[in-house]
C-alpha cells in the first residue's frame, strides 16, 4: 500500500512504539450501552491539583486527565462502565474530597470528532482514495444489535486498552477462562455492535505540536451542529463534542505554539456564525491519556 517493504514498515512501527510516539489501543464506546461520557472540571486548592489529578487518573473509568495552566484546575474525561461507577465518583468520592472546591460535570451529548476510526484523517496528502478504502475497509459496519458489557468482557477490554494489537491468544490468556474461539467471537460481537473500536494514540510533541488547549464555545442552538462540524473538521482538533453545562461545545486542540492557537481561535472559530464566546484553557500537564497513566509537562493531549 505504501510502496515500501514489510520489513521497513515493521522497523518504523517498532521505532514509533519504542519512542512512545504512537500506540494502538482498544476503546469501549459508552453509547451502545446507554451510558454517558462526562467531562469533569475540578477546581482545587492551591498545591493540590497534581495530587488530585494523579488520584483520579488511577481509576479505570477515567480516560484522560490534565492539570490546566494556573495549577488550580483538573480536567478529566469519565467513561463509566456502570451507573454505580458513575455515581461513586460524581456523588460520593469527589464531593467528599476537601481539596476540591468545585465540581462541574458536563455530559457529552454529541461527538463531532474523536470517537471512532471514522475520525481518522488520512487525506490525499498521504493516501489515495483507493488506499484509504483498503485501510479502513476491514472495520465492521455497525450491526445495530444491542449488547451488554459483562464481567467476562472486562479482562479483554483492559488488555486491549493496553495493546490494541494483542492477539486472540494474548486475550485468551488475559480472559477469565474463555477459549480462543470464544474470545474471537466476543470481540467480533462488540466491534459489530459499535461498542468496541480501535484508535491510534499519538504523542503530538514528537511531531512538533508542543501545546494543547481546551476550547469551550458558547453557541446559539440554531448554529450548534454547523459550528460543531466545522470545528471538528479542522486538522488541529483532536476532539470536538457538544456538551451540557454552561458552554455548548468543547474542543481539544494541538498546536506548535500559542500564536497558532490564537490564529485558530481568531481566524477559524471567530468567523463561524453563531459563536458568541470562546474560552481557552492551556493544558499544563497530562497525567493520563487514552486510558494510560503518563506524566507529561505542558503539551500534547
Average pLDDT, the chain: 86
Residues 6+ apart with CB under 8 A from 191: 139, 140, 197
CB 235 within 8 A of CB 253: no
- Residue 225 parent element (H or E): helix 224-232
- Taking only the tens place, the pLDDT of each residue in 12-62 is 888 888 877 888 888 877 666 667 889 999 999 989 999 999 999 998 889
**Residue 118, CA distances (Å) to 133, 237, 270 in order:** 11, 15, 27
- Residue 155 parent element (H or E): helix 154-162
Mean of pLDDT values over 199-215: 85
Taking Cα atoms as reference points, which of 194, 123, 159 lies closest to residue 24? 159
The greatest distance separating any two alpha carbons of the chain, rounded to the nearest whole angstrom, comes to: 58
CB 241 within 8 A of CB 106: no
- Taking only the tens place, the pLDDT of each residue in 98-144 is 999 999 999 999 999 986 555 555 444 556 667 767 766 666 655 55
Domain residue spans in the chain? 6-30+125-201, 210-287
- Taking only the tens place, the pLDDT of each residue in 260-290 is 999 999 999 999 999 999 999 999 999 998 8
Residue 225: what pLDDT?
98
CB 122 within 8 A of CB 132: yes
SS3 content of the chain, % helix, strand, coil (to 5): 35, 30, 35
Residue 300: what pLDDT?
47
Taking Cα atoms as reference points, which of 233, 256, 213, 218 lies closest to residue 70? 213
| Partner residues linked to 73 by β-bridges | 43
CATH, domain 210-287, list 3.40.190.10, 3.30.70.920, 3.40.50.720, 3.40.1280.10: 3.30.70.920
Note the residue count of the chain: 301
State how far the Cα of 299 lies from the Cα of 262, in Å rounded to an integer: 16
The whole-angstrom distance between residue 54's C-alpha and the CA centroid of its chain comes to 18
Taking Cα atoms as reference points, which of 66, 88, 84 lies closest to residue 76? 66
The grid cell for 49 is 491539583
Amino acid at each position: 500500500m505504501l510502496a515500501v517493504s514489510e520489513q521497513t514498515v515493521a522497523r518504523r512501527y517498532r521505532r514509533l512504539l519504542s519512542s512512545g510516539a504512537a500506540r494502538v489501543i482498544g476503546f469501549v464506546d459508552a453509547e451502545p450501552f446507554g451510558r454517558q461520557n462526562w467531562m469533569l472540571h475540578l477546581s482545587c486548592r492551591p498545591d493540590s491539583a497534581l495530587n488530585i489529578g494523579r488520584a483520579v487518573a488511577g481509576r479505570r473509568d477515567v480516560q484522560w486527565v490534565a492539570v490546566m495552566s494556573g495549577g488550580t484546575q483538573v480536567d478529566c474525561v469519565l467513561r463509566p462502565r456502570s451507573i454505580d461507577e458513575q455515581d461513586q465518583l460524581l456523588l460520593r468520592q469527589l464531593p467528599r474530597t476537601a481539596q476540591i472546591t468545585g465540581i462541574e460535570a458536563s455530559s457529552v451529548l454529541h461527538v463531532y470528532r474523536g470517537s471512532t476510526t471514522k475520525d481518522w484523517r488520512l487525506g490525499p496528502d498521504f493516501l489515495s482514495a483507493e488506499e484509504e478504502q483498503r485501510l479502513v475497509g476491514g472495520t465492521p459496519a455497525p450491526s445495530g444489535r444491542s449488547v451488554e458489557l459483562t464481567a467476562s468482557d472486562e479482562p479483554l477490554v483492559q488488555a486491549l486498552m493496553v495493546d490494541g494489537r494483542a492477539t486472540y491468544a494474548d486475550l485468551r490468556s488475559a480472559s477469565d477462562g474463555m477459549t480462543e474461539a470464544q474470545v474471537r467471537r466476543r470481540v467480533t460481537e462488540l466491534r459489530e455492535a459499535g461498542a468496541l473500536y480501535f484508535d491510534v494514540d499519538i504523542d503530538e510533541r514528537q511531531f512538533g505540536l508542543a501545546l494543547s488547549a481546551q476550547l469551550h464555545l458558547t453557541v446559539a442552538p440554531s448554529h450548534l451542529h454547523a459550528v460543531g462540524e466545522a470545528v471538528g473538521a479542522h486538522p488541529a482538533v483532536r476532539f470536538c463534542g457538544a456538551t451540557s453545562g454552561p458552554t455548548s461545545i468543547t474542543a481539544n486542540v494541538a498546536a506548535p505554539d500559542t500564536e497558532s492557537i490564537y490564529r485558530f481561535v481568531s481566524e477559524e472559530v471567530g468567523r463561524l456564525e453563531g459563536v458568541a464566546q470562546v474560552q481557552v484553557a492551556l493544558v499544563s500537564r497530562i497525567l493520563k491519556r487514552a486510558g494510560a497513566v503518563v506524566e507529561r509537562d505542558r503539551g500534547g493531549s
